[in-house]
Each structure stands twice: as structure tokens, then as C-alpha cells.
Amino acid sequence: MKNSTSLVLIGGFGFVGRNILDVIAQDDQFDGLEPMVIDDLSNAVPGHEALDLPSFAGGYEDAGAIEFLKAQKSEDNGRVFVFLAGETRVAESKDRPLDFIDANIANPSKFVMEAVQPGDHFILISTAGALFDGTFEVRTSSAYCPKNFYGATKAAEEMILEKLVELRGGSFSVIRMTNVYGRFSDKKKSAIHAFTRAIVEGGEVFINGDGEQSRDFIYAGDIGRGIAMQAKRVRDGEAYDRVNMLGAGVSTTLMDVVGAIEAASGDKLNYTKIPAEDLLKTEPRDVIASAEDVKVLLGDQITDFADGIRETYTYYSR
């Protein structure tokens, strides 16, 4: 019988959270991780109501969230928090910088100080792209060099929350994700999801620039398994890395994304290329994570891009 550990998912009914819950429910190696969710439902995936698990329908900033946590039974070995909340729209960070400071630094800091107890472990879900400028392969050891304000807030969040968790008597790790796509992405507006919706619905999309900018795209099921693996290692008292990377270890251009979606659907995507020069200046040209680093949590079980796109297309065609 595996030890039981409370797994507190902040934002657990959204895109990534639903993939974590799906993996835990289906894979016996994660038995003993007992999920509970705090979610304001603003990005909740349809069907979350049917999930039978403890949950608080409200923001993690609400006083009710802390009361919810206090009411839950917890084993002596501490809880594992997975913090998925925050502002992620890069393009909006230059227009709403103070909102990003609140969402990515101030509010999470207040939550840590109120929620984390001695013996708890706090996993911050962060970004592998915006923390860096896109001029090199990203490693877990790479020094911060964000190209936009969003990336700056995420760098600050990593450093500040680590120290606050330590002040509270807990332990800390961070998982940096590249560009995630796949199932349960109903509320996502990123390129793969927008392109897939358009080809299913017969709509039109715009491609910024020449479409040759590239990203490291990782299938959401792999993300769910990687995060659950980190929580399992903490639960089992195994060694774990403080900084982790989840990605595919390969980079794919937007035009190759278009080709993969067209291959999966058998149709042509209706798109128009636009200059978008101001936006592109704030984004890394290319993002790729170290293939060695992503294996720490995923091993060799990384979903092939074409297979992941087919699964995503099937999900949107349902």
C-alpha cells in the first residue's frame, strides 16, 4: 500500500490540470496521490463537474480557499501543491504590467504565506520559453534572460516563491514547460489549438510573420505524466531535481504545424500571413529544450508530434 499524499492542484480544472488528473486516474504508479482542486472555473474544461474529488470553486486568493484546505484531511508526510495559476498571455504583458505582477508574483506570494505548512512541497509550474531570449537551447541550468515583461514576472516568481516556501518550512521545485498542446484545451487560444479549431470549423487564422519561427511543442498527456512523476518522487521520498524541464527536445516551425494539422485532417487550412512586427519583437524567434533535461521526468516516453496532432484533431472533432 503506497503512502497517501494530498495533491493540491491550484487551477486543476483547466488545461494542464485536467491532464494531470487524467494521468493519475489511469496510471497505477500514481496510486496514493489524492488530488483536490482549487479553481475559480474561469478556464475550467467542460465536464469538470462530473469529477468526484474534493474541490473549492473560487480563486486561490479567496479566504474560502484557505478554509477549504484546513478542512481536508492530510497525512503527516505533508501535502504536495501544484501551482498552475497565473497570467500567461505574453502579448498583453506590455499593456497590463501591473496585472502580471499581481497575478504572477504578489497573489501567489500571499497564498504561499497563508497555505504552505512545514513538511509541504510546492511545485511551481513555470515557462521554458519566456524566461529566455530564444538564441540558445534551453537547459535547466540556463541563466534568466527574458525578452518580454511576462518572462520577467515568471523569473521573479520562481525566485520569490522558492524563498517564501522555505520560510514557511516547506520544500520547493519548479517545472518549466515549453508549448503545450493536446486534449482538454477547449479554452486555449494558442496557435495549434486555434489552427485545429479553424480547420475543423472551416474558419480562417492569421500567422504572424513568415511562419518559420519555431517552438518546442509537447503533448499535454506527457505534461500530465511529468508533473505527476515529480509529485510521486516527492511522495516516495526519492531524490528529485529542484529545476525541471518538460518539452519534446525538438523544435517545430509554425508552417510545419500547419502541415501536420492538414495531414491529420485531410483538409487545407485557410490562413493569411501578417507582419505583426511589434509582437514578434517581444517573442523569442526559436525555442527548444534540452533533450537530456526533458528525460529526467519523461524518460524516452515522449509523444511523437504527428501522433499528438492527430490526437488533438480527434479531440476537436468529437
Return the CATH number at 307.
3.90.25.10
Residues 156 and 208: beta-carbon distance below 8 Å: no
Residue 195 contacts by C-beta under 8 Å, 6 or more apart in sequence? 205, 257, 258, 261, 269, 271
pLDDT higher than threshold 50 for residue 224: yes
Residues 26 and 157 in one domain: yes
Residues 212 and 126 in one domain: no
pLDDT band at 74 (very low <50, low <70, confident <90, very high): low
What is the rounded distance in angstroms from the CA atom of residue 207 to the CA atom of residue 188? 17
Q: Phi/psi class of residue 246: alpha, beta or left (left: φ > 0; alpha: ψ in -120 to 50)?
A: beta
The reply to whether 26 falls in a domain is yes
Largest Cα–Cα separation, the chain: 58
The reply to whether 298 falls in a domain is no
Residues 16 and 94 in one domain: yes
Residues 34 and 61 in one domain: yes
* Number of separate domains in the chain: 2
Can you give the pLDDT at residue 151? 94
Give the residue among 63, 62, 60, 3 at the shortest CA–CA distance from 36.
60
Residues 146 and 155: beta-carbon distance below 8 Å: yes
- Domain extent at residue 12: 5-180+218-246
The reply to whether 296 falls in a domain is no
The reply to whether 293 falls in a domain is no
Residues 211 and 160 in one domain: no
Provide the 8-state DSSP code for 30: G
Global pTM?
Answer: 0.95
Residues 209 and 225 in one domain: no
What is the rounded distance in angstroms from the CA atom of residue 296 to the CA atom of residue 164? 26
The CATH number for 61's domain is 3.40.50.720
Residues 144 and 194 in one domain: no
Q: What is the pLDDT of residues 120-179, one digit of tens each?
A: 999 999 999 899 998 999 999 999 999 999 999 999 999 999 999 999 999 999 999 999
Residues 156 and 93: beta-carbon distance below 8 Å: no
The listed range with the strongest mean pLDDT (1-5, 132-136, 178-182) is 178-182
Residues 43-63, mean pLDDT to the nearest whole number: 96
Residues 80 and 224 in one domain: yes
